[in-house]
Amino acid sequence: MSPSSRRRAQTSPVAALTALFVVCAAISGYATVLDDSLPTAERDLAPATLSNVESALTDDSGVVVSSRLSDAFDACPDGFSCRVVVAVDGDRRAVGPAAPTDADADSTRVSVRVEPGRVGFGTLRVEVWR
């Protein structure tokens, strides 16, 4: 051996294999998370959209303000059509076109401001389709 080869640093095979395993595991985890986050035809969009719409329609006290109904379209996913319906005490307000029968839908019970100083219990429904 030449004298210069004795002074060079070398990595043990176990350390190199461990580093390779860590890098491969990180890339595999990243690819899995990325694949799960991309929208697909089978993906259930209604629950996430319902959460976004509910956040857009509620005030600081957590009560849905039906006058903000037109703001609901900002919470709908890009590239999709949606319809939002708020029903309380026999009054039903909706924005958006009529949904097809195969639209993905979800609903939840919410508190709705009926008029200043009066809150009723109602239903918030979201229908999402491409």
Residue-range domains of the chain with CATH: 44-129 (3.30.1140)
Condensed to tens digits (0 to 9), the pLDDT of residues 77-111 reads 988 999 999 999 889 999 999 999 999 999 999 99
**CA-CA-CA-CA dihedral for 30, 33, 38, 44, to nearest 10:** 180
Q: Quote the CA–CA distance of 94 and 51 in Å, as a whole number.
A: 17
Task: Give the pLDDT confidence score for residue 43 in this predicted structure.
Answer: 65
Q: Kindly tell me if the per-residue pLDDT of 29 is higher than 60.
A: yes
Q: What is the pLDDT of residue 36?
A: 76
pLDDT of residue 27: 92
Q: What separation in angstroms does the CA of 80 have from each of 71, 104, 125? A: 16, 11, 16
Q: Say yes or no to pLDDT of 3 above 80.
A: no
| pLDDT (mean) for 42-56 | 88
Tell me what the pLDDT averaged over the chain comes to: 88
Q: How high is the pLDDT of residue 39?
A: 65
How far apart CA 22 and CA 24 sit, in angstroms, is: 6
What's the pLDDT tens digit per position in 63-81?
999 889 988 888 999 889 9
